[in-house]
Structure 1
């Protein structure tokens, strides 16, 4: 635990009276910013790192506490890292229910409902179901005690919690303990979790929370804290929710920050201190740091077409991005300060101008910086090549399907073959591709999935999907907000919330993020079996060594296609026109394009038929795409 955090200030007493009057007498008390479990220790809290210099630029002293970096010290890092993955059962929240709310969820109902998920977690974490029970009964409450005794909280003027996925209940548990000991220190919460209705429900059900900030805090949090310190009302401060007697008052959501160039370079000093002090640095299986950066907010695609299943950017869809020069300066300063070259852009989608301008600059400089981005699947081979040279090493694209019909249903407005091209070339360029296959959309057909399975059987040499799953109606998605347009009925909170929030204190419909539903005009559950099996087989073969391969080498006018996809390697040679045709279809081509290229030659049709029949070319969406990857690394 951060021994130096409170030791110089031990023994500083709390000032009696209301917290408004206390703030007015000591306007320079520091602000504590806290990030609680359950999060992976590999990833710093970007929220703390950004808010610290933001508030300090306004003259407010700040100290950050990455308390999630110490939970693994107590329960073991293997278990902590497993808990940090957001499973359907939300175990990373459930373990804090006793510390936050008492024994309402102490029965076996949770384990009966989620036994399969919990057993999978135990296998991965190397623990038992009884160990999970002990986490809730003893380890989580003990960690709250640990937080209380290791820091002198009395020296702070306000204690703020940043809350993202699986941090709500741990934050409420510590807030409750803090209020019990320091009733005059205001507790404030904020973060991406707090949509307006969730914030209102937390305020109504949790008296330990005095304020919630909703929306971008860049320009409104500092004025709110200054009002606190002056003993003034929050009325009129955008984003602030507060108590007005027995009622909850709200000034409306804070506006989206219009100019992203105003945000400062984040300060990760305390994270690196906690990484060593908490012991993760010495953990044998510790992952290298992937430093978060934020170069844009919102989603330019969602402004035009909000994907039906996407619950992100509910109130902040408007797209804003930093200038390319500012992004480069930030990367330079962070890599100089921390000696880190690997970065995770937490943007929901890459700014279009970065594809060419940013990565061209990085490539021309021959840097060894590596960046992960979320992208549209419309990137071309040439763009991927340039971006790889500029340091793009990982992407999360909106692939979701190889069926153009299903992609239209989910408002993706791309095509199956375009998605296939992206996976082909990201595999070739060694760009880790974290994509998913999604199922269950109104209007889908059996043929949509049969055709996808047929394509998948031919491409085991391309990187496999991260996961296959049915689409959810997450809070904020069109499936949630416009259920009638998506044939959604019986929209109810996920069963896990029955075991996270006491129903006598919370309306689960207003505090939940994940929902379950019924949907009309879709296949029956058993009809998805084939595609689940197809993806699982693909994943298993991709994990196996050696991996399946389909590659070709080229002489002057001959290509040698080596096919090791199905356990019986074979080599096929094509020369002259056939070789030229195969390479021309390296990017998906229509028959019209092919005919024009080869001047309507009579051999083209039979050649395409042969190559498709041998599964060396795929014919999808009226286009032909070669499946073999060039052996030449400079294609």
Structure 2
């Protein structure tokens, strides 16, 4: 029997992170600590921050790309009080790198960012007061994306206010060398966990309660850096960067996360009526595709791509249990990729539910029509399939293992069954040709009845193949420029600390398409404009549609796209047969062979294909004929407010005073 101890451990979810869902990492750690007989509380300082600055100021911070380091800069004055680089220089760089956020009102935005930075000290003091009221023995922060400097700021203030308090950090920003750098450079952080802390957190916290900061290096778990390492030296490991990283091998026995503190916080929040919570859950770690072919730009999973999953039946049962426990049907699977066997073994349990859950999963993009239909029937209403591009040559550069034809077909099947898609068209890959984008731009208007994704510049992430084989691709990667205004570190130390990098040989800055890009790359300029037009069409009051019905000897197609040749098409005979074959993306050679056996002349086949292309009902991609029309009836698409990971209403109101 495990003894319980009534000494609170406070776990903190710092801004800026989504307020519409609890922290999965901290929920898992709280459950692990409970199993170990330790009492812990999760405080949602991200929700406090929303209340502190108001929703009008919160939105731009949440939506800012993390590599622009805006949130880190806001908190840097408190985290590093002796490091005060010229504040206007950071903002000059920010607006240069983000011209889409400049323009009208730039002076007002600049002044507002300076005002927000001046408020951070008050927020950190207020947060520290609320935490210290709980009289904790330990305080730990989980850090992902823009939470790192805010976490360092809070822990620094806590250690100054309460010197006996033990501080901890973990999370994605503490993976391997980033965690070691955090521990080595910022001495007010006592313990840093590199990797997966589920199994070690209980024994570690018990040991800290007994020995404080004096745990010998040999007694610390693999992947944990403690105060004694600063004098004795840091351990090495057989990882790519030679830094230890803790890993869980068996996910079956992990406890369900404890989200009770989150829902209590939301209920008491000034924005309770705007927060529609989702439940983050995980059923696997690593990536089974990445084990075979690591996508060139992907830096997820830190130093370990090894795929581990929960059994399919267990995954379905846990979704049902968590939904009942917290009264929410929204389930967001945070897995990098859905397990292969879940389609056949997990989904039937969910399909049988009388009231369906609303589920999000990341999936591989080469799903077939029947598989998308199964997902929809089971309540998977939103997916992120890693489409990334609509040109096969760019996809090969990425090592995505899919094609343009597959990606267009997936967008079609998702629109058919009402499954919403999160995707983006990435550009800026080493070795890509501008002509590829010009070719893509020529047929993008054909897709305006399908769900678009934004055009996004490639970002270089730590742990990605582009990062660890940069020279092979002609890249000279350095930390993204904004970090130099945030951290009081040398360039070498900064390279160990941050997650995002950029090519020092690239004269363009930031993640947006610029005027310089437009002049230098007309093909990419055309594709970017094509994406903008597609996004605009998708936001129109009435969505365009291309749908068809089969009446046996004739298919009637209705076309309301702006590019439509006719509002109604009546397709018979050979054209009908070609349109039916193209519905599944038939290889053109296979179709020609089949029709040739039926004594159809190749000239007739060519004329019929040309007719269907001219009517803009099919497109030729990757030596396949890809039909673009949906079958009527089709399932309506969900609004963005239905995202299974939760939703925060953005109605603009004056900032409310923070709760006491």
Change (3 A) 1:540 1:131: same
Q: Distance in 1 between matches of 2:620 and 2:394?
A: 18
Output the CA distance in 2 between the equivalents of 1:62 and 1:632: 52
Larger CA deviation: 233-242 vs 415-424: 233-242
- Aligned partner of 1:274 in structure 2 is 265
The equivalent residue for 2:90 is 110
Q: TM-score, normalised by structure 2?
A: 0.86
Question: Normalising by the residue count of structure 1, what TM-score does the alignment of the two structures yield?
Answer: 0.90
Contact (CA 8 Å) 1:159, 1:188: kept in 2 or not?
yes
State the match for 2:646 in structure 1. Answer: none
Secondary structure class of the residue paired with 1:41: coil
Q: Does 1:162 align with 2:142?
A: yes
Counterpart check, 1:615 vs 2:599: no
Corresponding residue for residue 264 of structure 1: 255
- Pick from 235, 239, 263 the counterpart of residue 218 of structure 2: 235
1:514-525 superposed matches below 5 A: 514-517=500-503, 525=517
- Taking the aligned partners of 1:397 and 1:337, their CA distance within structure 2 comes to 29
Gaps of at least 5 residues in structure 1 are 1-25
Q: For residues 280-300 of structure 1, what are the alpha-carbon distances to aligned partners after superposition, in whole Å with 9 as ceiling and x for unaligned?
A: 213xxx242121010110011
Alignment-derived partner of residue 584 in structure 1: 581
Deviation at 1:174, TM superposition (A): 1.0
Shift of 1:366: 4.3
Residue 142 (1) aligns with residue 133 (2): no
3-state SS of the aligned residue for 1:243? coil
User: Which of 373, 391, 406 does residue 418 from structure 1 map onto?
Assistant: 406
Residues 308, 448 of structure 1: alpha-carbon distance in 2 compared, 3 angstrom cutoff: same
> Equivalent residue for 1:512?
498
Q: Which residue of 2 aligns with 1:566?
A: 562
Change (3 A) 1:257 1:281: same
Aligned length: 603
Give the Cα separation in 2 of the matches to 1:516 and 1:588: 38
Q: Distance in 1 between matches of 2:100 and 2:112?
A: 11
Q: Is the 8 A contact 1:70 1:274 kept in 2?
A: no
**Is 1:92 aligned to residue 82 of structure 2?**
no
Q: Give the C-alpha shift of residue 323 in structure 1.
A: 0.7
| Partner-residue secondary structure (3-state), 2:26 | helix
| Distance in 2, Cα, partners of 1:492 & 1:634 | 47
**How many angstroms apart in 2 are the aligned matches of 1:234 and 1:123?**
55
Counterpart in 1 of 2:37? 59
Residue 168 of structure 2 aligns with which residue? 188
Shift of 1:605: 3.0
Q: More deviation in 238-247 or 124-133?
A: 124-133
Distance, in Å, in 1 between the alignment partners of 2:16 and 2:629 is 43
Find the counterpart in structure 2 of residue 594 from structure 1.
591
SS in 1 for 2:447: coil
Equivalent residue, structure 2, for 1:482 = 469
Select the residue among 320, 323, 347 that pairs with 2:335. 347
Q: 1:188 to 1:613 in 2, by over 3 A?
A: same
CA contact (8 A) 1:360 1:387 kept: no
Looking at structure 2, the residues matched to 341 and 125 of structure 1 have their Cα atoms a distance apart, in angstroms, of 41
Aligned partners of 2:544, 2:45: CA distance in 1, in Å?
A: 44
Higher RCO, 1 vs 2 (CA within 8 Å, ≥6 residues apart): 2
Q: RMSD in angstroms over aligned alpha carbons?
A: 2.6
**Is the CA contact (8 Å cut-off) linking 1:205 and 1:505 kept in structure 2?**
no
For residue 49 of structure 2, the aligned residue among 62, 71, 77 is 71
Deviation at 1:211, TM superposition (A): 0.9
Provide Cα deviations, 1:310-338, integer angstroms capped at 9, x if missing partner: 11113121000111121122111111111
Q: Which residue of 2 aligns with 1:554?
A: 550
Structure 2 residue 484 is matched with structure 1 residue 498: yes
Q: For 2:207 and 2:497, how far apart are their aligned partners in 1?
A: 28
Write the distance in 1 (CA, Å) between the matches of 2:108 and 2:334: 32
